[in-house]
Amino acid sequence: MSIEENRLPVLLSIRGEQYFDGMEPDITELMTEGTMELMPEGVAFSYEESALTGMEGTTTTFETRGRQVILTRSGAVNSQMIFEEGRQHTSLYETPFGELSVDIQTSRLRSTVTARGGLMEIRYSIAVEHTVTGRNCFKIRVRLR
């Protein structure tokens, strides 16, 4: 089976929430078309960012691997974040102004995404250069097109 045959067209409904102390939450909702790839360890789904998200020219991929979800962005923005409930992972976040060290502490990770679609929820706190900057949540619905 070729890679193209292994990719399924999907519709993604993505809700991002950011919470900062003493402020109203910042909520972003996005509906976009993407692709889902079935892999031995799980699934991966990808979509192209738009001007709406401020990351035009970037491909975002969520990949499930056992108890982990790996978020990879490549293109205009390059980064990788590893989410694993109850664990902290550190990665580099590349910006036009240089690289930052980012600590991701995942408090909740739930995924029911299979070849038929499903839901994913990731709740985490993020620390930039070891200073907590806020709490975040991704809620993603994957539906076959």
Mind listing the pLDDT tens digit for each residue in 10-57?
999 999 999 988 889 999 999 999 999 998 889 999 999 988 778 899
Q: What are phi and psi of 57, to 5 degrees?
A: 85, 15
Tokens for 53, please give them.
């998200």
- The pTM score is 0.89
Query: Which regions of the chain does DSSP assign to beta strands (E)?
Result: 7-19, 26-39, 42-48, 58-65, 68-75, 78-84, 88-95, 98-111, 118-128, 131-144
Q: What are phi and psi of 52, to 5 degrees?
A: -60, -40
